[in-house]
Amino acid sequence: MIHATVPSTTTTGQLISLDRILVVEPGRRAEAVCNVPGTLAIFDSHFPRFPVLPGVIILGSLAKLAALLLHESTQQEWRLAEAQSVRFRRFVQPGDVMELLVELTEHDVGQAVCKASASVDGKRVTTIGRLLLVNDLAGAT
Amino acid sequence: MRFHLIDRIDEFEPGKHLRGRKLVSGSEEFWDDVPGGPAMPAPLVLEALCQAGTWLIMLSTDRRKRAALLQVGNVRFSGDVRPGDVLVLDGVVESMSDEMAVLSGSATVDGTPVMQATDIMCALIDADDLEDPEDSERMLRVLTRS
């Protein structure tokens, strides 16, 4: 296990930290862990009577892990361009440990496709059928 | 961050559509470092549209229900959102029952689309399970300037 070393110019936002990078197999897959502590300011407003991690933050964390995986093999910056079949299956709440998995399915010079999921206690909380990332150098958006 | 990503509701028709605005400012704290300078993270642009959708659900159910995100069929990001931009949010109800709603919509900056989303499926849950109704009502008055 290594501690998170996110590229300093990460291009998918620092919405929630990837706290531990567990596995990076360049060109194939990556796994990471996000702790979801009750101290996050986001829970004050989302929601006052029912704290729950916003689904888009989970989407952002998976896109960030995908960008990190692609950075590992290309040394280039990647960013989220499209997502399909994003399903939020269970609420993620303060105290949960989120396990993230991203698997690369297609990859060329300018764009890459992954599928991704987040789990808590072995149960999938979010699944993404298709996550499209583009390479900034390719100028594609 | 305060997770409140819509600043005004400019027009709406209950059960049909809503147009709102989110002001984007360098005084916010969420920036991506991308070519050309800082940009608003794409997932937050999607969230701004979803929040427009949840207010539309509130306004369509006499404040009783809010939307909880279940699924996004497709979302495509086609442009950067920069400090100083005004994000115009257009949310449309595609279908709605007592328990579920399907929405679609877009975000534009100066008339140029920066995001389009379709097949946004939401569960409609009791609004007062999430927030004090008085706080929601106060926020709604700010959003609609009423």
At B45 the three-state DSSP class reads: helix
* Count of structural domains, chain A: 1
Cβ–Cβ below 8 Å for B74 and A83:
yes
Q: Quote the ipTM score.
A: 0.96
β partners of residue A131: A83, A114
* Residue ranges of domains in chain B, CATH in brackets: 8-141 (3.10.129.10)
Cβ–Cβ below 8 Å for A49 and B76:
no
What confidence category does residue B101 fall into, taking pLDDT thresholds of 50, 70 and 90? Answer: very high
pLDDT digits (tens, 9 = 90+) for A48-107: 999 999 999 999 999 999 999 999 999 999 999 999 999 999 999 999 999 999 999 999
Would residue A45 be called left, alpha or beta, if left means φ above 0 and alpha means ψ between -120 and 50 degrees?
Answer: alpha
- Domain, as residue range, for A126: 2-138
In this prediction, residue A10 carries a pLDDT of 40
The tokens of B27 are what?
């005084």
Mutate one of B2, B6, B24, B34 to test the A interface: name it (highest A CB count within 10 A). Answer: B34
Distance CA A85, CA B131 (A): 29
Q: How far is CA A41 from CA A15, A28, A98, B66, in A?
A: 11, 34, 18, 21
- In chain A, which among 62-101 make CB contacts under 8 A with chain B? 63, 77, 79-88
Residue A47: give its domain's CATH number. Answer: 3.10.129.10
Residue of A nearest to B47 (CA): A56
What confidence category does residue B1 fall into, taking pLDDT thresholds of 50, 70 and 90? Answer: confident
pLDDT digits (tens, 9 = 90+) for B105-141: 999 999 999 999 999 999 999 999 999 999 999 999 9
State the residue for tokens 């959003």.
B143
The tokens of A45 are what?
């407003």
Provide the b/e sequence for B76-109 (b: ≥16 CB within 10 Å).
Answer: bbebbbbeebebbbbbbbeebeeeebbbbbbbbb
Average model confidence (pLDDT) for chain B? 96
Running DSSP on this structure, what letter comes out for residue A6? -
> Which residues from B are below 8 Å from A11, CB to CB?
32-34
Mutate one of A14, A56, A131 to test the B interface: name it (highest B CB count within 10 A). Answer: A56
Residue of A nearest to B78 (CA): A141
Cβ–Cβ below 8 Å for B41 and A13:
yes
Pairing of strands B100-109, B86-96: antiparallel
